[in-house]
Amino acid sequence: MSLEYAILVSLRERAGSGYELARRFDKSIGYFWAASHQQIYRSLKRMVELGWIDCDQVAQQKRPDKKVYRVSSDGAEELQRWISEPAATRNDLTVKLRGASFGDAAQVRAEFARQRDLHLQRLSLYREIERRDFPDPAKLSGQALHQHLVLRGGIRSEQALLEWCEETIRALDDDLGGTP
């Protein structure tokens, strides 16, 4: 997935400045699709050139004018087209594991330990977000339901990845002669 589609989704939810968009990425979409502020600003410029988003200048006192971005009709059509496409997934970690015998298997094991810790932290964070933002999931509908379902997918993915990392670490420990 390219960053542009994540930006289109965010801007369809709510128009905003580049700064506001970057903050939204830091707090929500960024958990699933990471992007630096520079990448976001470059993508916004490219998306304006493509006609996918419009930009309004908003005058501010004692500050530079603010650019507020919103999805254009062409952008809405492009997002709808992209949403209809089959989804593709990639995972560098699986390729590293597949090639472990051609490199340093102990290093691959160390990476799995690092990933396990990251998935454990992310799982804890997602569960806290769910408790805080979706206390009664049975009453959700529309956009709130869709956001909760994304979060549930994140929780389930983190659980599965955590279990896979633990399984892989045990198997690599056995293969490496019990050397962590």
**Confidence grade of residue 90 (pLDDT, cut at 50, 70, 90):** low
- Domain 1-85 sits in CATH at 1.10.10.10
pLDDT at 62 over 70: yes
For 23, 61, 66, 111, the CA distances from 57, given in Å and listed in that order, are: 19, 13, 6, 46
Most confident region among 1-10, 75-84, 163-172 by mean pLDDT: 163-172
pLDDT at 82 over 70: yes
pLDDT at 1 over 60: no
Average pLDDT over all residues of the chain: 90
Percent of the chain scored above 70 by pLDDT?
A: 96
Q: Between these two residues, 179 and 105, which has the higher pLDDT value? A: 105
Q: Between these two residues, 35 and 7, which has the higher pLDDT value? A: 7
So what's the pLDDT on residue 86? 74
Domain boundaries, the chain: 1-85, 91-177
**Confidence grade of residue 179 (pLDDT, cut at 50, 70, 90):** low
Half-sphere exposure of 33 (CA within 13 A, CB side): 18
Distance CA 69, CA 22 (A): 12
So what's the pLDDT on residue 177? 83
Q: What angle is formed at CA 18 by the lines to CA 13 and CA 22, rounded to 5 degrees? A: 75
Task: Please indicate, yes or no, whether the overall pTM of this predicted structure exceeds 0.75.
Answer: no
So what's the pLDDT on residue 141? 96
pLDDT in tens, 100-125: 888 888 999 999 999 999 999 999 99
